[in-house]
Every structure is written in structure tokens, then in C-alpha cells.
Amino acid sequence: MERYVDERKYPGSSVLLHRHGEEVYHHACGMRDIEKALPFERDTAARIYSMTKPITSVAIMMLAERGLFHLDAPVSDFLPEFAQMRALKPGATSIDDTEPCATPNLQQLLTHTSGLSYPFNPGVLPREMEAQGIIFRADDAVLEETTKRLAALPLAFKPGTKWEYSVSIDVLGRIVEVVSGKDLRTFFREEIFAPLGMEETDFHVPATCRDRFAALYTPLSGNPMELNAAKGDSDTLRCVDRPEKSIFLEPTLYSGGGGLISTLDDYMKFVEMLRRGGMADGGRLLSPNTLKFMMRNHLDGDIAAMGPSSFAEQPMRGTGFGLGGSVVLDPGRVGVPGSVGDFSWGGMASTFFWIDPVLDLTAVFFTQLTPSSSYPSRAEMKAIVHGALVA
């Protein structure tokens, strides 16, 4: 971590490790705001982006446990705008070159096999999403309207035939709203954050955290979210989102795929709930059986076998995908020290968490550099942690 700061790769970072539910290590270094010379500390508030996805996935499974739907249910059962779906034909070069297809179901949304995509992926659909500005940013139109605009586009492929990282978890966030009758922010606050004691996690930068909110940096020129076009910059730490002007101060869209702000200890409460089989200090969120179901591989093989062409937060070889995160099937094929069954996910600003069920270990890492593919810090961190364990 110190080396990454010294080499101007990350502005600053913080890591927290638990073993058997007890804290065993914490370290913070560098700056949360280089321009103001403010340190990156344990209680620094950060954009967790796609680490929002596991929380939305938990919300969906909480509703499923109540018998309100099953995972084979098509999206159109809740969002009628997704009826009569079409998918791009194989090899299509135009957004109009489509054929009829089935509507994706909830499990396909949860596992990124729905046929949806992201604007920063390669391909016809991502280019159209980029042209129409459909990315579920915090300052976009409200979730309902953006979801309807997405539904008007064809899928990149027929559901269940490929794996592609996508806005599918944002669609699930909208389904949480429809089924529960609450907006996503209210559902998270009342049903998940309150029982967990997560008082500094929200779609808005929490009022108590505004003076601890980090700046966001990138080593790329141009828009750091346009991964297909962004190029390296001579300034490896160019600020792209100032804390006092951030779109997360007053968001208009609650993105279940990437909209939350959190702190290191707050997010560890969520990760520890997953490790504990759904148990929180304020009550049980999910059953242990549901958590085991979520953290097993839901693909036929690894992600690589499903022909992905998309950006991904994790290695694809030797890695499967559960509900809300990736699952290590074979550490040797992944090429990173770990255990079979490791469950993890990260965010675009290079944040990361993982749960090792064999070692009974949980880890949360925060920094603020986008994109997360800039440096191999996650693999290096796992190697260091495994090298430090002797029992």
C-alpha cells in the first residue's frame, strides 16, 4: 500500500482484515484528497461503485425468501416494458439487426447472463447505450425512467447463452422498488443498513461523512469511465470528482449496480453478515442456506467458458459467478493465491472485498482510483495475505 502511494498509483488506501470474526489487521496510508493534503483514514468515505451489487443481490434474495417471487420469474412479471424482447443476431453490426428472444429471468440478471451490457464494453449494444447515455449514473433521470429507456433496446445476446458484465443489477434494484413498494434507498436503509448498524452507507454522501469524503482519481486522459477510448495520461493521479462538487452529494438516481458511498468499517459489517450466514447484530437478514446458495457457482463452468467480451472486475479463468459476486473454482487456474469457494467483488474505483470460507477470513480494501483495471493490486493483496498466514 505504501509502495502504491510512493509510485503515485493510488492517492491513498485503507485495508481491514478479520479472521474468525475478529479484527486482525488494519492499515491506512496516503491521501484521500491530494490537493488539500487530507489523509486517507479508516473512516474515509468512498465511492464503492459495483460493491453495491452484492447488497442489491441480498435485497432480492430477502424478498425471494418471503415468497414474493422465484428466480425463474421473467423480468416482465415486474417490469412490463421488458415484454416482447429482442436480441442482436450473432455478428450483428447494427442495433436494428435483431431477432425475437425470451425475456431474461431474475437469476440471469443476478449472474450477468441476461444479455444486458454496459456502455464501456465493446459491441453494438454498448455503443448504443453510450450514444443514449444509459449508464445509471447518480445524476441520471430517476431509476424508473432510465430502466424504461434501457428496455427499449435489444439485448446483446439471447439470455443464458453468454456472460457479460452489465447494468442488470440496476434493473434488479428497480424490481426491489416495485415488489417492496419502497424506493431503493428506503429499502436499503430500513431492511439492510439499520439491522447491520451501517450508519455511514447511503446513495447520498452521509451528512456525517461530508468532511471525510474522498476525491476520485484516474491515470487516464478523457472520461475514465469510457474504457474503450480512455488512454494513459502523464498525470497518474488526475482528479475527476471533487468531494465538494460530486454527483453523489445529491443523486437523482439510486443505482443498485454502483451508487453507494460507504466507509471501511461499515462495509465490513455487510461482509461479516455474509460470512456469518445472514446474521446481523440487529437481526437475521437471510438464512444460512440462502447465503450458501448465493455464494456457489451458478454458471455451467467458469466465466471464461461463456465467451465474455466485457470488462470484468475479476479474473475469468477458474472463476465462476454466484449471486452478487464471483466464486473461485480453481485458484491454480485463476493464478492468484486463494481458496476454493472464495466469494468476492470489487468496484470501479479499485475497492475490493473477499470472503475466504476455508480460512474463515474476510477482507475489505478501499481506495479511490478509476478504472479498477489500472493495476493488479487485488491479486497482489491476496498473495500478501496468504503469504502472511502460517496457520
CA angle 367, 368, 371 (to 5 degrees): 115
- Asked if pLDDT for residue 226 goes beyond 70, the answer is no
Domain span(s) for CATH 1.20.58 in the chain: 64-180
Amino acid at 6: D
Which CATH number is associated with domain 64-180?
1.20.58
Contact yes or no for 47/138 (Cβ under 8 A): no
Contact yes or no for 237/216 (Cβ under 8 A): no
Q: What is the CB neighbour count within 10 angstroms for residue 222?
A: 12
Each residue of 230-281: pLDDT tens digit? 667 688 999 999 999 999 999 999 999 999 999 999 999 999 999 999 999 8
Q: Over range 40-68, report the average pLDDT.
A: 98
Is position 373 annotated as part of the catalytic site?
A: no
Looking only at the bridges linking them, the beta strands covering 86-88 and 216-218 are: unpaired
Each residue of 181-224: pLDDT tens digit? 999 999 999 999 999 999 999 999 999 999 999 999 999 987 77
| pLDDT for position 16 | 98
Each residue of 305-362: pLDDT tens digit? 998 766 666 678 999 999 999 999 999 999 999 999 999 999 999 999 999 999 999 9
Contact yes or no for 1/31 (Cβ under 8 A): no
β-strand partners of 29: 13
Residue of 13, 50, 57, 166 marked catalytic: 50
CATH number for the 2-51+211-388 domain, one of 3.40.710.10, 3.30.200.20, 3.30.559.10, 3.60.15.10?
Answer: 3.40.710.10
Domain span(s) for CATH 3.40.710.10 in the chain: 2-51+211-388
Q: Whole-prediction pTM value?
A: 0.96
Integer CA distances (angstroms), 208 to 43, 186, 242, 244, in order: 11, 18, 17, 14
β-strand partners of 16: 26, 364
Q: Over range 7-31, report the average pLDDT.
A: 98
For a pLDDT cut of 90, what percent of the chain falls above it?
92
Each residue of 177-186: pLDDT tens digit? 999 999 999 9
Determine the Cα–Cα distance for residues 271 and 145; give it in Å rounded to an integer: 31
- Asked if pLDDT for residue 99 goes beyond 80, the answer is yes
